[in-house]
A = this chain, B = another copy of it.
Amino acid sequence: MKLHEAPSPNARRVHIFMSELGMECERVAVDIRGGENLSAEFLAKNPGGRVPVLELDDGTYIGESVSICRYLESIAPSTGAPKLFGDDGLAKAQIDMWQRRVEFNFLLELAGAFRNLTGVFKDRETCVKEWGAVCAERAPKALNMFDTQLGKSEYLAGDSFSIADITLGVSIDFANMVKVLEMPELENLTRWKNQMDARASFSAS
């Protein structure tokens, strides 16, 4: 099994997930800045040209970091801890819901702000600064929703650590790194983020 990847929040989500499950696999670097992900060879692995992509030993490729994590959990030996995608139908739905809320309300807006304001991929996409500013204004507002939820439960989707916590933690670290948002100070979110940073998996590289 090989993970084709480039340094990004999405690769980090998979690294943390694997660390939590006690898994490792070979990693293959993809040169995104050089456009390797847009080559015919890479597009045969992942038609959207995105990374990471997981290559299975039989040559099957799985794209989308969340889908990769779903597969990894399905083949991982049990750690004894609750599953990171949930154990029963209700937990699975609630974890999926919070994970999607982080993606659609925060991570996507953050990415919109980052790409349109900095022009990091302007050699291959049209950037609209005015749109980047809209995204940069909207993204921090979503954090209030997570702060409220974290005032009610220890982890984002309830009493157990889950993929939703990984997505939110990685997104906040990325926001703090690229500095395109004005990040608010929120009490519950800070308490929770300190807990996340104390997990060995969050230092996984």
Residues of A at under 8 Å CB distance from B? Answer: 47-48, 60, 62-64, 66-68, 70-71, 73-75, 88-90, 92-94, 96-97, 100-101, 104-105, 108, 125-126, 128, 130-131, 134, 137, 142, 145, 148-149
Q: In whole Å, how far is A180's beta carbon from the nearest beta carbon of chain B?
A: 16
B145 touches A66 (CB 8 A): no
Q: In whole Å, how far is A75's beta carbon from the nearest beta carbon of chain B?
A: 6
User: Who on chain B is nearest to A108 by CB?
Assistant: B108
Copies of this chain present: 2
A75 touches B48 (CB 8 A): no
Q: What would 25 A/B residue contacts be, using CB atoms closer than 8 Å? A: A47-B145, A47-B149, A48-B105, A48-B142, A48-B145, A62-B93, A62-B94, A64-B96, A64-B100, A67-B100, A70-B89, A70-B92, A70-B93, A71-B92, A71-B93, A74-B88, A74-B93, A125-B134, A126-B137, A128-B128, A128-B131, A128-B134, A130-B130, A130-B131, A131-B131
With contacts A48-B101, A48-B145 taken as known, whether A96 is within 8 angstroms of B67 at the C-beta atoms is yes
Q: DSSP class of A's interface residues: helix, strand, loop or mixed?
A: helix
User: Who on chain B is nearest to A56 by CB?
Assistant: B90
**Lowest 4 CB-CB distances: which A-B pairs, in order?**
A74-B89, A71-B93, A131-B131, A67-B97
A64 touches B101 (CB 8 A): yes
A101 touches B63 (CB 8 A): yes
